[in-house]
Amino acid sequence: MEYRALLVCFIAAIIVTPLVKKLAVYIGATDKPDPRKVHKVLMPRLGGLAIFISFVIGYFLFMPPTPIFWPVLFGAAIIIITGIWDDLRELSAKWKLAGQILAAGVVVYAGEGVVVTFVNIPFTDSTLEFGMFSEIITMIWIIAITNAINLIDGLDGLAAGVSSIALLTISGMAITMGNVFVVFAGLMMLGSTVGFLIYNFYPAKIFMGDTGALFLGFMISVLSLLGFKNVTLFSFVIPVIILGVPISDTVFAIVRRKLQNRPMSAPDKSHLHHNLLNLGYSHPETVLVIYTISALFSLAAVVFSQATLYGALLVIGFLILMLELLVEFTGLIGKDYRPILNLFKNQRSKK
């Protein structure tokens, strides 16, 4: 039945997206070109509403009743309202954050099974109890991942494709663990997002806007919590690995702005996709390169979940090295930051 849910949401997105596109143009939810953006023409940007509507159709038709059913739906609705408002009026950062806090709060305080209360400490029989900070830590995770997906939404099909890869991985791992809610919700989100991606891949006919980016980030953060919470510290790394691209892009954006003494909320054109474009990759090539990197992270997460302790450490070490080389090659922190590449260059010059 879960695969029927995926198919229904996929077909629904294909049907609904053109209608949402017309609505976006009619109400003025459009994205105007500016020096920081890649597109050159006016684009409708309410596409996330199509993903939400398609997901809700499947949600009511197929989702088995669970205690988390309504809190997730209400939280998602708050995120969608926040996104629509931003796509129409361009909300300030504090109002967008307020919407995210409210949505996260609904899931954390009204839902069941979402809050991370502890993790087991590796190499010991002890646990790290979060106690009174459990809800706060859980909300920080939801808000952080929500914004991470929003930050990578800079090229046609980028956020939708990266999210689809993450959703496929989360759903697949949930199947092996027998987590019914995550399986159904993940596959319905996957069907809705891929159906929308048909219109969003280069050259895009519609953008997902903050409506879509916030919704995808919110749902991915909640599903990853429901799938991987209260486990060993190493196992809790799994969703971090799956979301390696948006998380690392966000972290390096913070580091970059800190080094440049710029406000954290200040936009720039030094994200991963911008730097790949600057290296000469075309628009679709850049998106496909980032898809490939995301798929490698997801594959690493699957291997990590099945590995022994030392195998898991080996996977982490490989990912750290790969990430470091990616940062240096693309200039994510800065063009002059190339310690490993310069080391190889110096060794070659000595020969």
292 part of a folded domain? yes
Whether 245 is covered by a domain: the verdict is yes
The whole-angstrom separation of Cα 27 and Cα 75 is: 24
pTM of full prediction above 0.75:
yes
Number of domains into which the chain is organized? 1
In a domain, residue 281? The reply is yes
Per-residue model confidence (pLDDT) at position 18: 97
Structural domain contains residue 237? yes
Cβ contacts of 345 within 8 Å, gap of 6 or more: none
The distance of Cα 55 from the centroid of its chain, to the nearest Å, equals 17
Tell me how far apart the alpha carbons of residues 237 and 217 are, in angstroms, rounded to a whole number: 17
Domain, as residue range, for 146? 2-118+130-350
In a domain? residue 124: no
Residues 279 and 258: their CA atoms lie apart, in Å, by 24
Domain assignment present for residue 45? The answer is yes
Per-residue model confidence as pLDDT tens digits over 88-108 = 988 888 999 999 999 999 999
Average pLDDT over the chain, rounded to an integer: 88
51-76: average pLDDT: 95
Q: Mean pLDDT over residues 189-197, rounded?
A: 98
What's phi and psi for 220, nearest 5 deg? Answer: -65, -40
CA 156 to chain CA mean position, Å: 15
pLDDT tens profile 274-300: 889 988 999 999 999 999 999 999 999
Distance (Å, whole) CA 349 – CA 63: 62
Q: Name the residue among 268, 330, 280, 331 with its Cα closest to residue 36.
A: 268
> Per DSSP, what are the bridge partners of residue 129?
118
